[in-house]
Amino acid sequence: MTTFHIPDMSCGHCKSTVDKTIHSLDPSARIEFDMPARKVFVESNTDGAAVVAALMKVGFPASVA
């Protein structure tokens, strides 16, 4: 499981966009959100760098935590 810190994720719309973006890379990804900490826990076969790049494209700069 990879943890991503997404500082700009603050609401339900943000969560939805992040969820859709990650699932577009891996439809079977398992995603858990910690909204107060602005962290996302992702279990996927997709490389973390690909997730970071995809999130950047949709306006959510992320880093592997």
Residue spans of the domains in the chain: they are 2-64
61 φ/ψ sector (left φ>0, alpha ψ -120 to 50, else beta): beta
Q: pTM here?
A: 0.90
- CATH architecture of the domain 2-64 equals 2-Layer Sandwich (3.30)
Q: Quick one: pLDDT at residue 65?
A: 85
Q: Give the pLDDT score at 31.
A: 97
Within the chain, which residues score under 70 in pLDDT?
Answer: none
Q: How many CA atoms lie within 13 A of 9 on its CB side?
A: 25
d(CA 15, CA 13): 5
**CA dist 18 → 31, 35, 37 (Å):** 10, 12, 15
